[in-house]
């Protein structure tokens, strides 16, 4: 198993992306700064962590950025990451994998 980068662990500690209703710009900036400090590609293990961090909305575009980052994992799509059917971002990841011919 490859080492998980500190930025990913820090995002995991912060928990799911906050809602756009969150009026704490410092918190949003913290997520954004951590995201921007991650170089691509990520590992499968890192993708498994990030996929658990989707919140209830787009978090000012960060959720979409997470989608693109997750898709850089070498063995993406990871079927164990796509079982959550109550999250629009995981559904989006699954649909993108299907449209791309990488998942049935």
The yes-or-no verdict on residue 72 having pLDDT over 90 is: yes
Please choose, from the candidates 62, 61, 63, 55, the residue with its C-alpha nearest in 3D space to the C-alpha of residue 93: 63
Please, which residues have CB within 8 angstroms of residue 31's CB and are 6 or more apart in sequence? 11, 14, 17, 18, 59, 62
pTM of the full predicted structure?
0.93
The residue whose two tokens read 């809602």 is: 19
Distance CA 104, CA 9 (A): 31
**Per-domain residue ranges for the chain?**
6-99
Backbone angles phi, psi at 38, to 5 degrees: -90, 125
Residues 38-59: tens digit of each pLDDT: 999 999 999 999 999 999 999 9
Q: Quickly state the pLDDT bin for 66 (edges 50, 70, 90).
A: very high
What mean pLDDT do residues 68-72 have? 97
Cα 92 → chain centroid: 11
Residue 59 near residue 34, CB atoms below 8 Å: no
Cis before 65 (ω within 30): no
Q: What is the pLDDT of residue 83?
A: 87
């Amino acid at each position: 198993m490859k080492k998980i980068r500190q930025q990913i662990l820090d995002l995991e500690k912060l928990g799911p992306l906050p809602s756009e209703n969150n009026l704490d710009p410092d918190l949003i900036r913290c997520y954004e700064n951590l995201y921007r400090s991650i170089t691509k590609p990520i590992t499968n293990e890192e993708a498994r962590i990030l996929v658990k961090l989707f919140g209830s909305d787009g978090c000012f575009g960060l959720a979409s950025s997470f989608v693109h980052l997750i898709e850089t994992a070498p063995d993406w799509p990871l079927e164990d990451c796509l079982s959550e059917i109550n999250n629009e971002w995981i559904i989006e990841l699954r649909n993108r994998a299907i449209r791309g011919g990488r998942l049935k």
